[in-house]
Amino acid sequence: MKKLNSDEIKKIENNILSVYADFCEKNNLKYYLAYGTLLGAARHKGFIPWDDDIDVIMQRQDYDKMQQILKEKGNHISQNIVLKTPYDKDYAYQYCKIIDTNTVVYEKNIKNKFKTSLWIDIFVYDKIPEDKKNQKAFQNKLYKMRKYYFYSIEKKYQGHSVPGLIKYNLIKFFVTPIYSIINQKVRIAKLADKYANSDSNTWFCSLFSEPNTKFIMSNEFEQTKIQFEGKEYTTFKNYDKVLRDYYGDYMQLPDEDKRISHDMDAYLKE
């Protein structure tokens, strides 16, 4: 296999995004460039120079419809562009990714049995209760379940404190083995859309958020186009507000020591 450099990784991921976006347009699915990808589009008209990540979000109804459509096609958008879901046993995450199966990726802190391919992340936005008490309780429950699950797939503790290491080992070796890995992923994925049929107008990134995550209101899902690496994609019409809520003055470049890229090795199959 040939090891890929950063520019080669970005080229492959950009192709995955293009194929995915064309699939969404063909099937009337709404998606939004988000997080670092939206920041890169707004500030650099493409990738953040030191980052090789692509993040997309979908509301629950489109996220589920995407999975239903692709399930009938063996999860293939094309020959080598494939959907991965929490129901796949060899897959580590609770949210979906679109991968290029012509590549192999080893993430530095994820157990090797969960080898993957170059990907784009597809995060789902779910409804959350509008009252603060239930919001906090629901966020905390999901966050704790996700954290405990990741303890089971990580190679080693990522923190720095001794009490944290002790807690990590207790949970890793005595709590997480109670459930199989696949069942933990499925439990988390199913809990995330608990309020799908509610009247709530408040949405959040249920499967990749922290307790203090930002919310998005129903009226903020209007769309516009934005350029990313020479092609137009859809995102939030009020993306300036969305980015300022997340990053503050997002046009200001971060200090060099905060310019962090993925810790992984990627290879092209030959």
Look at residue 85 and give its three-state secondary structure. Answer: coil
**Residue 202 neighbours by CB under 8 Å, 6+ apart:** 127, 128, 129, 130, 135, 215, 216, 217, 218
Confidence at residue 220, expressed as pLDDT on a 0 to 100 scale: 95
- Topology of domain 2-124+217-268, per CATH? Beta Polymerase; domain 2 (3.30.460)
Strand pairing category for 264-268 and 103-107: antiparallel
Confidence at residue 254, expressed as pLDDT on a 0 to 100 scale: 83
Confidence at residue 7, expressed as pLDDT on a 0 to 100 scale: 95
Classify the phi-psi angles of 154: left when phi > 0, otherwise alpha if psi is within -120 to 50, otherwise beta.
beta
pTM of the model: 0.90
Pair of tokens at residue 248: 């503050």
Determine phi and psi for 248, rounding to 5 degrees. Answer: 75, -130
Domain boundaries, the chain: 2-124+217-268
In angstroms, rounded to a whole number, what is the distance separating the alpha carbons of residues 110 and 114?
A: 7
Displacement of CA 129 from its chain's centroid (Å): 22
Nearest CA among 211, 234, 249, 227 for reference residue 34: 234
| pLDDT per residue of the chain (270 residues) written in tens, 0 to 9 | 999 999 999 999 999 999 999 999 999 999 999 999 999 999 999 999 999 899 999 999 999 999 999 999 999 999 999 999 988 888 888 899 999 999 999 887 676 667 789 999 999 999 999 999 999 999 999 998 888 887 777 766 566 577 777 776 776 676 666 655 667 888 898 899 999 999 999 999 998 877 778 899 999 999 999 999 999 999 999 999 999 998 999 999 888 777 777 778 999 998
Confidence at residue 132, expressed as pLDDT on a 0 to 100 scale: 92
> Whose structure tokens read 């939004």?
32
Confidence at residue 208, expressed as pLDDT on a 0 to 100 scale: 80
Confidence at residue 157, expressed as pLDDT on a 0 to 100 scale: 59
In angstroms, rounded to a whole number, what is the distance separating the alpha carbons of residues 266 and 268?
A: 7
